[in-house]
A and B are shown apart, each in its own frame.
Chain A
Amino acid sequence: MPARFMTAREAVALVPSGSTVMVGGFGLSGQPLSLLEALLETEVRDLTVISNNVGQQGKGLGKLLLDNRIKKAIGTYFTSNPDVSRYKREGKLEVELLPQGTFSEAIRLGGSGIPAFYTPTAAGTLLAEGKETRIFDGKEYVLERSLRADVALIKAYKADRYGNLVYYKTARNFNPLMAMAADLTIVEVDEVVEVGELDPEAIVTPHVFVDVVVQKEASS
């Protein structure tokens, strides 16, 4: 079924309190900032956020953190947002760290029907403590669980009317993976074009992975 088109406010009303939400972006690049602004205007709280970073200090997801909407963050690099460290110390935020390659693969496989996988990354380190390991061909691998979410909030460059997506430069990052790995995928796009205007060979995310498209309002 082709995607539905909504305003940001209508779309974020589909995000329940207590849910697990994947949010695209490497820092702020490729983060769906309009959707996050709209989410801030709802009453949603107790979110478990799966995102590479918690935005930046006071920006993107960083704003939701400061408004005490996030109870747990799963990601790879929170060092660049000092609020994360403070919230963790104050016991207001639970943090789970994964190596970035494990994190991205866990999301890809979460969307591909594979519940766990072996990776050589982190073998023999703190991040493998308590995890099963196994030797393949003489080398140690760590068993990692795949990741899924209730909702994915992602950012793409253009969508057509079916919800096929193309991305823009390094803003692509985790977005196509998260589109696959949630029960409900909401995408914010800069531009909507007619069906047929995107080259089928260039489409990165086919509309099968997209539920809701929100066109970003002209600079709010």
Chain B
Amino acid sequence: MDPRHYVAWRAAQELESGDIVNLGIGIPILVADYIPKDRQVFLQSENGILGVGPTPPTESQDPDLINASKLPISEQIGASYFDSSLSFAMMRGGHIHKTVIGTLQISQSGDIANWAVPGKDVLGVGGAMDLIVGARTVIVVSTHLTSDGKPKILPACTFPLTAKGEADVLITEYAVFRFIDNQMVLEELVDDLTLDQLKQITPAHYEISDHFRMVNRTEYLTNKQSMG
């Protein structure tokens, strides 16, 4: 199982019919492929389109029809184009329901650090700060640990912040947390892990929700199969 795809699939389940959604770079861009077919979700990309359609076949790709990851896209019926300031007015103005965004670190109070690593050149922030501050619901998607096994879900971020206290949901390949009054609450755990094992890889403090549930990956794997 590719943990990134599981995370993307699980994040897609958070989207509802009628939602206007912006997908960030990385795992978030995979979410588009997993949106349940019976839900009509409108994807916005900050480079200036509302109504992003699926990746077109190579022969009909257009270098001037791209998403914010600079990947080729198509336009859905009813799509519109606009300039960058209108695009960010949609975010800051609270018109975007949900953003799905990746992270380097996240804290127990919902601080997000996803744009800079201390000691490295800091050369890009893009739209991350505006998106996180502006979208009504911020869904953070991430692998639970870094590629070299270090924790990312911390009492406090050690990397420079992208925004303070803005995370609403955190989805990893093992767990789903919600942030309620800046408190991190565990809602869901995949049955590959016990609660104790989760604790060992999650230094942040979290409560366990009254609605806590254990889940297994059957639904995801069935969905994967039906997608061929």
Which residues of A does B touch, CB under 8 Å? 26-30, 52, 76-80, 84-85, 88-89, 95, 97-105, 107-108, 119-127, 167-177, 204
Contacts of A98 in B (CB 8 A): 125
Q: Does A101 contact B64, Cβ atoms closer than 8 Å?
A: no
Interface size class of B (residues with CB under 8 A): 35 or more
With A170-B47, A173-B83, A174-B84 known as contacts, the answer to whether A121 contacts B129 (CB < 8 A) is yes
A220: min CB distance to chain B, Å: 17
Contacts of A28 in B (CB 8 A): 63
Chain A residue with Cβ nearest B130: A101
Q: Does B134 contact A101, Cβ atoms closer than 8 Å?
A: yes
Q: Does B163 contact A173, Cβ atoms closer than 8 Å?
A: no
| CB-contact partner of B84 in A80, A127, A169, A177, under 8 A | A177
Measured CA separation A98–B68 after assembly (Å): 16
Docked complex: B29-71 residues within 8 A CB-CB of A = 45-49, 62-68, 70
Q: Does A169 contact B75, Cβ atoms closer than 8 Å?
A: yes
With A125-B129, A126-B116 known as contacts, the answer to whether A104 contacts B85 (CB < 8 A) is yes
With A85-B123, A104-B87 known as contacts, the answer to whether A26 contacts B81 (CB < 8 A) is no
CB of B161 within 8 Å of the partner chain:
yes
Q: Does A119 contact B92, Cβ atoms closer than 8 Å?
A: yes
Q: Does A124 contact B163, Cβ atoms closer than 8 Å?
A: yes
Q: Does A77 contact B92, Cβ atoms closer than 8 Å?
A: no
Given contacts A120-B133, A169-B75, A170-B67, 8 further A-B contacts (CB under 8 A): A26-B70, A27-B66, A29-B70, A76-B125, A97-B123, A100-B88, A121-B133, A172-B83
Measured CA separation A29–B66 after assembly (Å): 8
Q: Does A76 contact B127, Cβ atoms closer than 8 Å?
A: yes
Chain B residue with Cβ nearest A155: B64
Measured CA separation A108–B85 after assembly (Å): 7
